[in-house]
Amino acid sequence: VDRKIVEQFFSKLQESIVVGLEGADGQARFRRDRWSASETPQFDGGGGLTCVIEDGAVFEKGGVNLSAVEGRLSSRIAAHLKVSPGPFFATGVSLVLHPRSPQIPTVHMNVRYLEIAAEEGWQDGVARRWFGGGADLTPYYLYAEDARHFHETLATACDDYRDDAYARFKSECDGYFRSPHRDEARGIGGIFFDYLEQDLEKVFEFVQGVGRAFLPSYLPIVERRRDEAWSEHHREWQLLRRGRYVEFNLVHDRGTLFGLETGGRTEAILMSLPPTANWRYNYQPEAGSPEAQLVDVLKHPRDWIER
């Protein structure tokens, strides 16, 4: 694969997602901030396009980011990535959407491509290159049909790649999007994959499929839930759960910490944080309530579809 072609695909993917989400919101438009790596001294080149929506009819806050940068891995980050320190190239699309209604789930999707230069530098070629990515859903109130729809759409994108892809990536997702300090998952999962480097053209096709599956995996859920009633009680629960989302992203998420540590654009990276989040001491939902049912599923991840 050619990094320019990957970058072009990601750029078109971002645009189509932004347009699709604006259509679904019907009110707010994304603010488009183009930035250049020359503003961030840690990078050697490249840039990105940060697209942010705020105060929409459906989306209270969200972002769809594109970046394509060259930089140098610190020894710490290199050890984390299990590669040797040196020049890298990274490009990807990353999105998080926080709807206003507690009936509509928060969603995250990311597709990325990385290259690590040969030990002597880019002039000697590429030492390693791989794709990674994933998507996961974080409902505040659980609708089994929504969870099934989300997983089914992602599974279909996986099936073309490998027979066992969905099962593997679903299980990796349950492992990754988990807060050990809370002993619970962040949501009802989805798929997660990293270091896919064998048969790269086929992997690229798979990654394109995952990217294209995003809108069909999520927008039907938005349409089903957007007119569902909710009260202050639902809202308070949403804000408390958003607090857990913040905890996961800032304490555990490797993507966020990698971004902040490599000197990425902080405002673009932290677009994943919700507009408002709450914390209460030792809040426990009432036994048998919809809130308690959600927590039970977060503690014991389920299989949502057959594969």
Binding footprint of a second copy on the chain (CB under 8 A): 31, 33, 50, 52, 54, 61, 63, 181-182, 239, 243, 246-247, 250-251, 257, 260, 266-267, 270-271, 273-282
What 3-state class would DSSP assign to 306?
A: coil
Query: In terms of CB distance, is 159 or 247 closer to a second copy?
Result: 247
Structure-block tokens of residue 70: 């060259």
Query: In terms of CB distance, is 295 or 305 closer to a second copy?
Result: 295
Q: Where do we find the tokens 């509509």?
A: 104
Query: In terms of CB distance, is 161 or 248 closer to a second copy?
Result: 248
DSSP string, 47-104: EEEEEEEES-SSEEEEEEEEEEEEEE--HHHHHHHTS-SSEEEEEEEEEEEEESSTTS
CA distances from 211 to 8, 47, 132 (A): 13, 20, 12
Query: In terms of CB distance, is 64 or 147 closer to a second copy?
Result: 64
Query: In terms of CB distance, is 199 or 261 closer to a second copy?
Result: 261
Query: In terms of CB distance, is 78 or 246 closer to a second copy?
Result: 246
The least distance separating a second copy from the CB of residue 275, rounded to whole angstroms, comes to 6
The least distance separating a second copy from the CB of residue 33, rounded to whole angstroms, comes to 7
Using an 8 Å Cβ cutoff, are 189 and 142 in contact?
no
Distance, CA of 59 to CA of 98 (rounded, Å): 6
The least distance separating a second copy from the CB of residue 61, rounded to whole angstroms, comes to 7
DSSP code at position 122: G
The least distance separating a second copy from the CB of residue 128, rounded to whole angstroms, comes to 27
Query: In terms of CB distance, is 3 or 252 closer to a second copy?
Result: 252
Q: Which of 98, 108, 149, 234 is catalytic?
A: 108
The least distance separating a second copy from the CB of residue 2, rounded to whole angstroms, comes to 33
CA distances from 12 to 7, 117, 156, 176, 276 (A): 9, 26, 22, 28, 31
Residue 189's closest CA among 151, 246, 221, 217?
151
Residue 225's closest CA among 304, 147, 131?
147
The least distance separating a second copy from the CB of residue 261, rounded to whole angstroms, comes to 8
Whether 108 sits among the annotated catalytic residues: the reply is yes
Distance, CA of 14 to CA of 66 (rounded, Å): 7
Bridge partners for 229 per DSSP: none
The least distance separating a second copy from the CB of residue 268, rounded to whole angstroms, comes to 9
Q: Are strands 43-54 and 59-72 parallel, antiparallel or unpaired?
A: antiparallel
Structure-block tokens of residue 177: 């999007």
Using an 8 Å Cβ cutoff, are 51 and 236 in contact?
no
Active site residues: 108
